[in-house]
Each structure stands twice: as C-alpha cells, then as structure tokens.
C-alpha cells in the first residue's frame, strides 16, 4: 500500500514511517497543505492521511481542492476535534474516514487498508469472496449457489466487509456504517455479526468471517491458522 502523509508534526510522521515501512508499506510525506496537494495531484496513492490543521493551507481546503480536481483517492482525516459538527464537516468536505488524535497505529493501518480495498473495488456491481456472492443491484446473496436470506442490517454489514476484503474493518467503522453517529445502546454490532455468521458460515465447512481482537472483523478465505478464528468472539 502506498500512502501519502500530510502532517506537520515531525515526531508523528517519524512514528508513522517506522511503523508502516516495517510492515511493507511505502510512505511519502508533506509538511504543509500546498506540498501535500501537489503530491496528491501528481502522484498515485492508495490512500492519503491528511491532518486537519496544517501550515499555509488547512486539511479541509486541501481536500476540497483535491476533490474539485476530480481526484477520488481515499482520504482519512486526522483531527483533534471530536464534536459532531466537525465530524460532519469532515465528511462533507469529501473525506472517506476520520481518526481522532491520539490514535493507535494498528487501527490507522486497518482503516487505510479498508479504504484502499474499497476504492479498488469501486464500480463493481457484484462482490465475491470465495463462493460467497453479493449482487449490489438486486441485493441477492448466495453462497455455493444457495440463496441466503439476510435482514437489511446484516446485508449492509456483509457489504462493508466484502468491500474491504481481505482487509479488516474496525468496529467503529462498522457501527458508523450501520447507525451513523448514534449507535444503539448495548453491543448490537456483536448481535448482527452473530446473525451474519449463522447465515454465511453456519451451513458451510469453510468459515469466512474472522474476528480480530481489539480491532474488528474481516471477511476472507482462511489462510493458515485463520480457519480457527471463525469460532472465536461472536
């Protein structure tokens, strides 16, 4: 994954480079808005990490100009602001996701991987993982040629997981996709994942839905020891 980091905090940038490059990702960095915009317009990236507060041009202005130029690379906005109006404004400016400082590096990684995977699948009308198939036009779900009946919330959850596959999707992102900024009381996400597993994995020998403790969930064909994960947290 090739990522552009537009951030003026040198210590944070150094931490990002150390973590991401050790995990096989390639990073470029820009210390201010104009430099970041120039790189974003003239280079190809799988995702962009964009700080809200930047010298010479703030992150929202960079994002607005990037989208006006027709560039649809996924952008994750970093912000210290947690108010609802700020979050809404971030998405209205064209951001695909946001993360509030301080944050954990593994969460940033899985969010970026999910954004990049979804962007690469943009325009697909049929999602397929193994023998699991979701037709986005008809909303028909089949596995191994067998039709599966899913409630709307479970189908939406399945779509988010399949769009990101094989990357993981954080619990926070799944909850926001289902309920926006007003999730219901209790752990309803766990209940929906349980119901989805009953339909998608229950009747089949190969389990596709895997739990990543303290991160979220991923939907993918098992590799190595991943087959054992299908029976963990529900």
CATH number for the domain that contains residue 190: 1.10.10.10
Q: Are 32 and 13 in contact (CB under 8 A)?
A: no
| 86, 120, 154 - which closes a domain | 120
User: Scanning the structure block, which residue is given the tokens 């210590």?
Assistant: 11
**Residue that is written with structure tokens 């695909």 in the block:** 96
CB atoms within 10 A of CB 42: 7
In a shared domain, residues 113 and 159:
no
Determine what percent of the chain is predicted with pLDDT higher than 70.
Answer: 88
Average pLDDT in the chain: 86
Paired sense of beta strands 26-30 and 75-79, if any:
unpaired
Do 112 and 159 share a domain, yes or no? no
**Same domain? 166 vs 81:** no
Q: Report strand pairing: 75-79 vs 97-100.
A: parallel
Interior angle at CA 112, CA 109 and CA 117, nearest 5: 125
| 143 shares its domain with 116 | no
- Same-domain status, 150 and 194: yes
Number of domains in the chain: 2
98: alpha, beta or left? (left if phi > 0; alpha if psi -120 to 50): beta
Q: What is the CATH number of the domain that holds 39?
A: 3.40.50.2300
Q: Which of 120, 136, 169 is the last residue of a domain?
A: 120
Q: First vs last Cα of the chain: how many Å apart? A: 30
The stretch 2-21 carries a mean pLDDT of: 95
Mean pLDDT for the stretch of residues 52-56: 93
Helices (runs of H) and strands (runs of E) counted in the chain: 8, 12
Q: Which helix (H) or strand (E) holds 47?
A: strand 47-51
pLDDT at 18 exceeding the cut of 90: yes
Residues 95 and 134 in one domain: no
pLDDT (0 to 100) of residue 70: 80
Q: Give dist(CA 171, CA 129) in Å, integer.
A: 21
Same domain membership, residue 111 and residue 142: no
Mark whether 164 and 198 lie in a shared domain.
yes
DSSP run (H or E) holding 23 = none
Query: Helices 59-68 and 33-42 meet at what angle, rounded to 10?
Result: 30
Report pLDDT digits (tens) over 108-120: 998 998 888 777 6
Taking only Cα atoms into account, the Rg of the chain, rounded to an integer number of angstroms, comes to 19
- What mean pLDDT is predicted for residues 44-65? 92
Same domain for 13 and 104?
Answer: yes
Least confident of 44-53, 59-68, 80-89, 172-181: 80-89
For 127-157, how does the pLDDT look when each residue is reduced to its tens digit (9 = 90+)?
A: 899 999 998 878 899 999 999 999 999 999 9
Mean pLDDT across 53-57: 93
Of 120, 153, 174, the domain-final residue: 120
Same domain, 108 and 130: no
Reported as a single tens digit per residue, the pLDDT across 23-38 is 888 999 999 999 999 9
Residue 37 and residue 143 in one domain = no
| Residue numbers of the domain that contains 60 | 2-120
Say if residue 112 is in the same domain as residue 131. Answer: no
């Amino acid at each position: 994954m090739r990522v552009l980091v537009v951030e003026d905090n040198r210590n944070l940038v150094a931490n990002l480079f150390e973590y991401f490059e050790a995990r096989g990702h390639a990073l470029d960095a820009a210390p201010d808005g104009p430099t970041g915009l120039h790189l974003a317009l003239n280079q190809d990236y799988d995702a962009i990490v964009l700080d809200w507060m930047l010298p010479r041009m703030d992150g929202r202005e960079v994002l607005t100009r990037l989208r006006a130029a027709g560039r649809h690379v996924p952008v994750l906005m970093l912000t210290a602001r947690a108010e609802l109006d700020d979050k809404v404004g971030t998405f209205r400016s064209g951001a695909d996701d946001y993360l509030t400082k301080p944050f954990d590096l593994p969460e940033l990684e899985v969010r970026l991987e999910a954004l990049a995977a979804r962007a690469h699948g943009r325009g697909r009308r049929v999602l397929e993982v193994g023998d699991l198939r979701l037709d986005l036009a008809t909303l028909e779900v089949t596995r191994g040629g067998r039709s599966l009946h899913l409630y709307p919330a479970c189908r939406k959850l399945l779509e988010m997981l399949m769009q990101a596959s094989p990357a993981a999707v954080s619990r926070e992102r799944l909850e926001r996709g289902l309920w926006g900024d007003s999730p219901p009381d209790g752990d309803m996400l766990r209940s929906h994942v349980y119901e989805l597993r009953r339909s998608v994995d229950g009747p089949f020998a190969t389990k596709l839905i895997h739990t990543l403790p303290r991160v979220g969930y991923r939907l993918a064909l098992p590799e190595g020891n991943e087959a054992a994960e299908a029976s963990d947290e529900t």
